[in-house]
Structure 1
Amino acid sequence: MKASILEVAPSLRAVPVAVADAAALAALVQKNHAYLLCYLPAVTALASPADAEAYLRHADALAESGDVLEWHIFSHGELCGAVRLNHIETEHHKVSIGYYIGADYQGNGIATLAVRAILEYGFQALDVNRVELRCVAANAPSIRLAERLGFVREGVLRQAELLDGAFCDLWVYGLLRDDFVWPVAAPDLGGIAA
């Protein structure tokens, strides 16, 4: 199963991850190392082009097997983040979603639009009925994004993740196809930051 390129909005694209983007991914991770370390420490391991390339080769193999689909988000041609569908359970019509956006690109609606486009893709192309999201209870930006997109907080997994030597609670969110607010048209984002 291969992901499709999604034209999210003018100058905003979601592109299936590719080995050719290894250097750009490594640069994004290096620039956002401290931020990513707070909530996604595994991503910080992609700070060298060689490590990023190895990861992207692995991600491509996972996509081929249908286990994971991952997109890089490009704003005005610059790699600014990623969205991933994993734990794909076709028999139960459900997936999990994860995302991150570089600190320089936050606050411009990029993450909201990109995640919404991936959700739409999941509901339509993958025939998903349920999307699950787990995020650290202290990750206010991720929580705001999830709630803005209609995710419903369904529970807490107490001390479910070890981050920086401390156990953290994870909030579990769910979004059903019937609850998804379908976009009417792609907005004009001529003013988003590059």
Structure 2
Amino acid sequence: MNQEFPIIETERLILREVATGDAHDMFKYLSDVDVVKHIGLAPFQTIKDAWDEINWYNSIIEEGTGIRWGITLKDVGKIIGSCGFLNMVTKHHRAEVGFELSKDYWGKGIASEALEAVIKFGFNHYQLERIEALIEPANLPSQKLVERQGFTREGLLRHYEYTCGKFDDLYLYSILKGDLNLI
């Protein structure tokens, strides 16, 4: 594991680097159609899909375009989801945030706790000015989650992505560093 990888600790969670040994835990939730239906991924079919996802996490760090933390409960330690930045553009001090969580842990405030910690880390450690979230219109729980964190819906990006054999419309949400004073 990379010694430089930042660990984020919250009241209930430890956000840490995802390792190849976490692939089975990731496969469990990323093979669930309900977990992946709004994030532009087909349900994982094999453990190799989880390894590919971990390789993607490593590649965005190496490229300097993002970072993805594995979400773990302090008392358990296994990966139950992930949260982090992608499409980071340091020149413009902005990044997109993404997240997913095992269905077993929905409705417990875990995604909110992880997202809040990642947002603060982005503003404080990466000197981000703007964090964006792109969310499918049908994904009401994620819309409510980012709105509770202080994000503003800026508009609809029509046919913005082509995933799983279809074009997806995405709502564009953002939060600015100065908006945190409003929370």
Bucket of the pairwise TM-score, normalised by the shorter protein: 0.7 to 0.9
How many matched pairs? 179
Structure 2: gaps (5+ residues)? none
Instruction: Indicate the residue corresponding to 1:74 in structure 2.
Output: 72
Give the TM-score, by structure 1 length.
0.83
Confirm or deny that 1:38 pairs with 2:40.
no
Match of 2:9 among 7, 10, 16: 7
**Aligned partner letter, 1:172:** L
| 1:146-165 map, 5 Å | 146-162=146-162
Higher mean alpha-carbon deviation, 53-62 vs 132-141, is at 53-62
- Asked whether 1:177 is paired with 2:177, we answer yes
- What is the alpha-carbon distance in structure 2 between the residues aligned to residue 87 and residue 166 of structure 1? 21
Instruction: Mark the runs of 5 or more structure 1 residues left unpaired by the alignment.
Output: 184-194
Paired residues of 1:3 and 1:70 also in contact (CA < 8 A): no
Q: Give a deviation string over 1:51-86, Cα, whole Å, max 9, x none.
A: 312331332132122122001101232321111201
Check whether the contact 2:29–2:101 (CA below 8 A) recurs between aligned residues: no
**Greater relative contact order structure (CA < 8 Å, 6+ sep):** 1
Q: Which amino acid aligns with 1:65?
A: E
Point out the more displaced range, 138-147 or 52-61.
Answer: 52-61
The SS at the match of 2:16 is strand
Two-structure CA RMSD over aligned residues (Å):
2.2
Larger displacement relative to structure 2 (47-56 or 120-129): 47-56
- Once residues 121 and 176 of structure 1 are traced to their aligned partners in structure 2, the CA distance between those partners, rounded to angstroms, is 13
Cα distance change, pair 182–116 in 1 and its aligned pair in 2 (3 A) = farther
Deviation digits for residues 110-168 of structure 1 (CA, Å, limit 9, x no counterpart) = 00000010001100110100001110011000000010000000011123345666544
The answer to whether the Cα contact below 8 Å between 2:30 and 2:36 also exists between their aligned partners in 1 is no
Asked if 1 retains the 8 angstrom alpha-carbon contact of 2:8 and 2:15, the reply is yes
Mean Cα displacement is larger for which, 160-169 or 36-45? 160-169
